[in-house]
A and B are shown apart, each in its own frame.
Chain A
């Protein structure tokens, strides 16, 4: 019987989603700054969309890198 392929790690999916969310939210925050849009939320002057979005983006990229199927199969190959 053919051996079943190891599934892609859940953390890879998490990374992909956070990367997309991070890019969208940071982009929206940067647009607000560039276009001079004033939001009426409290502490809007801290631009939370920019730094929280950047954090999501960074976290997402870290997960995507470390749990990418290609990297994991390379590491498995090197071990065997």
Chain B
């Protein structure tokens, strides 16, 4: 899911946390470890298949954890902990209804088409299904946005390091990005995936102590609820669905239809099933069964992430002696902002050593997100732009070399973006909005391509283009005339969060309608050209011979049932 970046903070007068020599040693060991792994894997990244798809030999567990870690950035950890302090448990929707159904759908329904088609990327799938025009549109937009987003994340993370630790912004940007560039350029996707698994473990082990000690201090979950009710009387911070009956009943200003249709359907499915940054990890699985299981394993862990992200925010409401406020108010009054809740909780419970581990978890989160961006960028650039349009006939070694250089180039462009954002902060909002323009329409294009044989190349291209343009038009409309929000979100009480949900929903609907209309007006591809790409034209290997516990569908059902139980418990 797109991380909250709105918590980029003004430099504070003093740092929140001071690290001693042991904490710094722990951070330094981490940097040495990721570089060593990259160096060790260099000799195994000799072919295009090795470099861009990790040799397609990852187990379901490794691909699944990497799939999740590529999304679990430090900004996401801090941003959603802040959102939990501000909005309460409603923030959990971004981890549950906003992720789990989509991840299970990817594993059970979509993965066979991605995997059997042997595509290197999502734009590559569009080329096979719809032709060059759709691939070109998706590849250029994805490549550009990925590298720009990487730069924005880099800047925001460096700013966080300045506020939390007092580190120089230039130091944070250059050290972390050069480290990522080295280990991805050396070992390719395999190195990125190996490090993501390592980072996944560190994120959990570094962050898990906060909720454990927080629950002990607060007296368990019942104690948390009681304390929050005492500290913030009148607010409902601990129910997931109960307050979503009306836009005005909850602090997000959103209705349950926006959460279910906008977030749970369009944004979530768009991100988790078509964003190549995460899908690339699953394409590296060693066989189809592993590729189907990987998102299901990712979903199981995703369901637990609120324990280390949302719960610390709620614990902040329960146990922190100070009241956190919005960013502008914090800057004006010299107070702490929502965005500082995670570092404040870290400093509350963790002494030397544990503090270093917690900070390492944040750095690991940042680096895993960045490595995900640059490895996906390198693949899309090399296969879907360079090989498709610039140099069609070259040997495999040439493309691997291009991938390595492209990784370094991607990091340099990200660094350039970071410095640009430092000068012109409003760019951050625009690039985030740009990224969101493509996700919802792309979902319509890919889904119709996989599930509807009649979708034609012209239908796919025009649906994607018109859906994207409609999203841009709605965004500009609200910018120019804020009252347009009430029209797009269908309520005068809707707030910014609701706009994103409903804009995504409308642009998806427009994409689907245009795709269907144009497809009926144009000639479809013959059935034999759709083999391996479309439902009904593809022979999907049966899993009937496997015992029940080895079938992905069984584990998807288990995760699905647990998901429903959690909704009921926290209703």
Contacts and interface: CB of A to CB of B under 8 A. Distances in A.
Interface in B333-357: 347-354, 357
B216 A43 contact: yes
B422 interface: no
Majority secondary structure, B binding face: helix
Given A10-B194, A10-B197, A13-B194, A24 B217 contact: no
Interface string B216-237: 1100000000000000000000
- Which of A16, A17, A24, A49: most chain B CB closer than 10 A? A17
A13 B352 contact: no
A52 interface: yes
Given A8-B40, A56-B205, A42 B349 contact: yes
B40 A41 contact: no
A30 to B, nearest CB: 11
Contact of B350 (A13, A20, A41): A41
Nearest to B354: A49
Interface string B178-215: 00000000000000001001100110010001000100
A24 B22 contact: yes
Contact of A48 (B44, B205, B354): B354
B217 A42 contact: yes
Contacts of B197: 10, 14
A13 B351 contact: no
Contacts of B213: 42-43, 46, 48
Contacts of A54: none
Contact of A7 (B22, B41, B202): B41
Contacts of B33: 13, 16-17
Given A43-B213, A49-B353, A14 B26 contact: no
Interface string A43-58: 1101011001100100
A41 B214 CA distance: 12
Contacts of A10: 62, 194, 197-198
A25 interface: yes
A41 B351 contact: yes
A41 B349 contact: yes
A32 B348 CA distance: 17
A48 B217 contact: no
Given A39-B351, A53-B353, A48 B209 contact: yes
A18 interface: yes
Contact of B354 (A7, A16, A25): A25
B35 to A, nearest CB: 12
Given A24-B26, A48-B209, A14 B350 contact: no
A24 B353 contact: yes
A14 B198 contact: yes
B25 interface: yes
A43 B41 contact: no
B412 interface: no
Contacts of B353: 24-25, 28-29, 49, 53
A46 B216 contact: yes
The range of chain A's interface size is 20 to 34
Interface string A1-44: 00010011010011011101100110011001000000101111
A24 B194 CA distance: 24
A63 to B, nearest CB: 9
A25 B29 contact: no
B26 A43 contact: no
A73 to B, nearest CB: 17
Contacts of A13: 33, 37, 194, 198
B22 A42 contact: no
A21 B357 contact: yes
Contacts of B209: 48, 52
Contacts of A14: 197-198, 201
Contacts of A56: 205
Interface in B319-371: 319, 347-354, 357
Contacts of B319: 42
Contacts of A24: 22, 25-26, 353
Contacts of B349: 41-43, 48
Contacts of A44: 351
Contacts of B357: 21, 25
Contacts of A52: 209, 354
Given A13-B194, A46-B216, A52-B209, A20 B351 contact: no
Interface in B355-402: 357
Nearest to A52: B209
A20 B62 CA distance: 22
- Which of A21, A29, A59: most chain B CB closer than 10 A? A21
Contacts of B25: 24
B229 to A, nearest CB: 21
Given A42-B217, A48-B349, A56-B205, A17 B29 contact: yes
A7 B217 CA distance: 44
A48 B214 CA distance: 12
A25 B205 CA distance: 12
Contacts of A59: 205
B351 A43 contact: no
A24 to B, nearest CB: 6
Across chains A and B, which 3 residue pairs bring their CB atoms closest together, nearest first? A25-B353, A28-B353, A39-B351
25 contacts: A10-B194, A10-B197, A10-B198, A13-B33, A21-B29, A24-B353, A25-B26, A25-B353, A28-B22, A28-B351, A28-B352, A39-B352, A41-B347, A41-B348, A41-B351, A42-B213, A42-B319, A43-B217, A43-B349, A46-B213, A46-B216, A48-B209, A48-B351, A49-B353, A59-B205
Given A41-B347, A46-B216, A59-B205, 4 more contacts: A24-B25, A28-B352, A42-B348, A52-B209
